[in-house]
Amino acid sequence: MTETVEPAAGTDATEPFAVGVTVRGYETDTQGHLNQSVYLQYAEHARWSLLQASGIRQSTMVDRRVGPVTVETTIRYRRELRAGDEVEVSCAFVWGEGKTFRIEQTVRTADGTVAAEVSAVCGLLDLTERKLLPDPRAALRDLADEPALLGLTDA
């Protein structure tokens, strides 16, 4: 399995953070296409890779009793993927006001063709209270060594 993380990506506003993945044969369905559920796994892998690149470890989040949650996901399938295809999965946080934020992701083939677009509404859950934190930006900014990778500037 070939898998790469591009930690330098995402520092330029025109270039979002991205992770490379090779589609594996066991991830395909009977038509030879990448199984629909695997797109979500690729998206999740890119999200955690971005958090880690920003300096946020899963264990630190657990220690602080917070965790990311997804409340809605939309996948737009554009082109089929097959075993052996090399793809890049981008990941960008889009901030608004309130308890939730969006994560926009694109799965692209090596030639730049968009295979899928994934859009998720997410939040940070207080693991003790089981409620969304009122200001996820502040919590992630506090946890991150490099908050700019998450689209967070000093505030």
Radius of gyration of the chain (CA): 16
DSSP class per residue in 39-105 = HHHHHHHHHHHHHHHTT--HHHHHHTTEEEEEEEEEEEE-S---TT-EEEEEEEEE--SSSEEEEEE
pLDDT of amino acid 23: 98
Confidence of residue 154 (pLDDT cuts 50, 70, 90): low
Q: How confident is the model over 50-77, as pLDDT tens digits?
A: 999 999 999 999 999 999 999 999 999 9
In this prediction the pTM is: 0.88
Calculate the average pLDDT of the chain.
Answer: 92
Length of the chain: 155
Q: Which of 74, 150, 80, 81 is nearest to 118 (CA)?
A: 74
Across the range 96-120, mean pLDDT stands at: 97
Q: How confident is the model over 21-44, as pLDDT tens digits?
A: 999 999 999 999 999 999 999 999
Cα–Cα distance between 33 and 84 in angstroms, integer?
11
